[in-house]
């Protein structure tokens, strides 16, 4: 029985990157041998075991055969005679098909993964790549992760991704799996690359048609020098990545302009009412992918209200108060902060304007602090019942009027 460290841990070890999860493959063993040594079985489709102390995953070396549609459509075979090379050839990319003997440090690289690491290439191991549609998303995610190090997708691998996108196999991916890969990609340093790759290989129009529809839609160049709505969306997303914002902010930025794809052609390049038009596609996309409710709620708010954030300093005090109310300022100030962050990314996700000042953010934060600081205890003692709520609202609007006056005096 031989045990090898495999997959991402070996890849990142060779790249000099930190890694936390370790996966192992066991060659020349049976399930009973591992059970006898105290390993705990966890795999349903094939034998995977948890180490009794470390809880790392140990999988028996296996081969696989396509037997159906999608990434679940496989039959797996394990046997002590299955070799390490047999196991590694079923993996997606050569850089993920490298194994290491942790005891001796010896590297096993039968498919040229180390050379591709040096070449900074994401290349498929074999044509079995075509059997698993999930690999389209995985390669796009790796492209996003390693973009900052100069990695690119091998042309022949991109060609296979295009074939998969056109084959109908992507339709077999479950919403949960698509969202899992996408949410991980959104948290990469260059999340925009994930969507650029999916657009390039044709997968975006299959899995994210609402986002694909933005590409080629023009905007007014005086506000959007980059012109293309799809390019603007990905530039705004990159702003969120640069600022290390949370997943909910990044998702909201990704979908904030979906309504622009629905602008009547005779109105282009203007996009009047795109905020209202965008709500339905944001909801549809979020529901289809089963996006968590918290993310969906913020995304809808950003889609519907982002222009009001851009106009914050010119809004009437009552209008600003109602905006803050809709954002649930009194109970969820963190929601307001996330909203502000997403709107700032929208403002800066424009060609040549990436470093522009966005004073609206500080103005909104001051407004949030002001309305939250006014309590019922600040009211006259003789105010009771429904009058309390009405007067609290008026106090808050008056305070926002003072803020607006102070701003105008300082301009």
Confidence of residue 69 (pLDDT cuts 50, 70, 90): low
Q: Are 25 and 99 in contact (CB under 8 A)?
A: yes
Q: Which residue segments constitute the domains of the chain, with CATH numbers given?
A: 1-118 (3.30.460.10)
What six digits make up the tokens of 368? 């949030």
Confidence of residue 330 (pLDDT cuts 50, 70, 90): very high
Helix (H) or strand (E) holding 50: strand 48-50
Which pLDDT value is given to residue 142? 97
Interhelix angle for 229-242 vs 191-201, to 10°? 150
Residue 145 CB coordination number (10 Å): 21
Beta-bridge partners for 2: 27
Residue 356 CB coordination number (10 Å): 10
Interhelix angle for 317-326 vs 293-310, to 10°? 170
Of 174, 182, 117, the closest CA to residue 146 belongs to: 117
How far is C-alpha 253 from the chain's CA centre?
10
Q: Quote the percentage of the chain above a pLDDT of 70.
A: 95
Helix (H) or strand (E) holding 23: strand 23-27
**Could you say which DSSP state residue 314 is in?**
G
Residue matched to tokens 């600022």: 243
Confidence of residue 65 (pLDDT cuts 50, 70, 90): low
**Distance (Å, whole) CA 140 – CA 198:** 7
The pLDDT of residue 270 is above 70:
yes
Q: Is the dihedral of CA 40, 43, 49, 55 positive or negative?
A: negative
Q: Are 59 and 27 in contact (CB under 8 A)?
A: no
Q: Which residue has the higher pLDDT, 241 or 67?
A: 241
**Distance (Å, whole) CA 363 – CA 260:** 27
Which pLDDT value is given to residue 20? 83
Binding site for ATP: residue ranges? 8, 11, 91, 138, 141
Q: Is the dihedral of CA 43, 46, 47, 53 positive or negative?
A: negative
Helix (H) or strand (E) holding 59: strand 57-60
**Could you say which DSSP state residue 124 is in?**
B
Helix (H) or strand (E) holding 4: strand 2-6
pLDDT digits (tens, 9 = 90+) for 145-201: 999 999 999 999 999 999 999 999 999 999 999 999 999 999 999 999 999 999 999
DSSP string, 156-181: HHHHHHHHHHHHTGGGGS-HHHHHHH
Q: Report the C-alpha dihedral over residues 365, 368, 373, 378, rounded to 10 degrees.
A: 140
CA atoms within 13 Å, Cβ hemisphere of 373: 8
Binding site for CTP: residue ranges? 8, 11, 91, 138, 141
Confidence of residue 350 (pLDDT cuts 50, 70, 90): very high
Altogether, the residues listed in the chain come to a count of 411
The pLDDT of residue 305 is above 80:
yes
Binding site for Mg(2+): residue ranges? 21, 23
Interhelix angle for 293-310 vs 247-255, to 10°? 60
Which pLDDT value is given to residue 377? 74
Which pLDDT value is given to residue 45? 64
Binding site: residue ranges? 8, 11, 21, 23, 91, 138, 141
């Amino acid at each position: 029985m031989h045990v090898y460290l495999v997959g991402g841990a070996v890849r990142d070890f060779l790249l000099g990157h930190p890694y936390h999860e370790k996966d192992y493959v066991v060659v020349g063993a049976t399930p009973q041998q591992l059970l006898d040594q105290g390993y705990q079985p966890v795999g349903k489709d094939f034998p995977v075991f948890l180490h009794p102390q470390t809880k790392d995953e140990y999988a028996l070396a296996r081969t696989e055969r396509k037997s159906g549609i999608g990434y679940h459509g496989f039959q797996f075979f394990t046997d002590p005679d299955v070799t390490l090379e047999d196991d590694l050839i079923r993996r997606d990319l050569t850089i993920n098909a490298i194994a290491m003997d942790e005891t001796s440090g010896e590297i096993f690289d039968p498919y040229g993964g180390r050379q591709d690491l040096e070449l900074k290439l994401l290349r498929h191991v074999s044509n079995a790549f075509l059997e698993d549609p999930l690999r389209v998303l995985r390669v796009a995610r790796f492209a996003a992760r390693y973009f900052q190090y100069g990695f690119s997708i091998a042309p022949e691998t991109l060609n296979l991704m295009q074939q998969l996108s056109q084959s109908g196999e992507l339709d077999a991916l479950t919403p949960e799996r698509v969202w899992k890969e996408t949410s991980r990609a959104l948290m990469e340093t260059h999340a925009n690359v994930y969507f650029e790759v999916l657009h390039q290989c044709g997968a975006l129009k299959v899995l994210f048609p609402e986002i694909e529809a933005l590409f080629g839609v023009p905007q007014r160049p005086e506000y959007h020098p980059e012109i293309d709505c799809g390019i603007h969306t990905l530039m705004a997303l990159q702003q969120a990545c640069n600022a290390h914002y949370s997943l909910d902010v990044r998702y909201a930025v990704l979908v904030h302009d979906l309504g622009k794809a629905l602008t009547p052609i005779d109105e282009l390049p203007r996009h009047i009412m795109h905020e209202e038009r965008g709500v339905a596609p944001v909801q549809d996309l979020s529901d289809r992918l089963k996006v968590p409710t918290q993310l969906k709620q913020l995304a809808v708010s950003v889609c519907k209200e982002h222009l009001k954030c851009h106009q914050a300093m010119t809004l009437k005090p009552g209008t600003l108060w109602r905006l803050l109310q809709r954002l649930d300022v009194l109970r969820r100030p963190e929601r307001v902060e996330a909203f502000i962050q997403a709107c700032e990314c929208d403002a800066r996700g424009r060609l040549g304007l990436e470093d522009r000042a966005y004073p609206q953010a500080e103005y909104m934060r001051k407004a949030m602090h002001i309305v939250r600081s006014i309590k019922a205890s600040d009211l006259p003692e003789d105010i009771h019942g429904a009058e309390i709520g009405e007067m609290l609202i008026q106090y808050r609007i008056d305070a926002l009027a003072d803020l607006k006056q102070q701003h105008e005096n300082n301009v």
